[in-house]
Structure 1
Amino acid sequence: MMKKKDILKILSALKAEVSERYKAEIRGIFGSYARDEAGKKSDLDVLVRFDESADLFDLVGLSIFLEEKLKCKVDVVPQDDIRSELRESILEEAIYL
């Protein structure tokens, strides 16, 4: 299982490629990895902002791409789609790139 600092380093290095290929900006991580509470079955929650021209294929493609690069289960969460009752806590907890 990767450490938070290594995940952030990899995600930072992938920002340009992700922007070009998937019309998205990686904003940061949240959840168990951000809190240093991740276990073997934890998924990595990645906060992303998609361009208006992005579609479902970009979302799914980005998820698969990140899973391959990070060697763990990734949940890509579009920042604009976070439910209002969870938004504040997620955005406060997030570790931004």
Structure 2
Amino acid sequence: MRKLVEIKKILASNKEELKRKYKIREVGIFGSFVRGEQKKRSDIDILVDFYQLPDLLKFIEIERYLEKLLRKKVDLVEKKSIRPQLKDIILSEVIYI
């Protein structure tokens, strides 16, 4: 099972490619992995902020790219699309890379 330290290291080593290829301004981890509550079947919650918002197909491509990179299911969330009732919770626990 992946640990938070490993996830951070993988994302950090690929951050420049994410910026260049997918126009990602910021990338962070939130959810069960940050809180230390992950289970074997937990997905990795990734928060992104884009320079330019991608279309749906490109968004799915980014999610698949991250899943391949991390070898784990990813739930990709765009920062500006967070539901208002969850925004404070997510932003208070996110760890930016």
Q: Does 1:51 align with 2:55?
A: no
Aligned length: 97
Identify unmatched segments of 5+ residues in structure 2.
none
Q: Aligned with 1:40: secondary structure?
A: coil
Identify unmatched segments of 5+ residues in structure 1.
none
The CA deviation string for residues 9-46 of structure 1, in whole angstroms up to 9 with x for no partner, is 11111111111221223421000011111111100000
Instruction: Give the whole-Å Cα distance in 2 for the aligned partners of 1:27 and 1:94.
Output: 9
Q: Who is 2:79 aligned against?
A: 79
The CA deviation string for residues 22-74 of structure 1, in whole angstroms up to 9 with x for no partner, is 12234210000111111111000001012235221221111000100100000
Q: Who is 1:94 aligned against?
A: 94
Root mean square deviation of aligned Cα: 1.2
TM-score by length of 2: 0.92
TM-score by length of 1: 0.92
Identical-pair percentage: 42
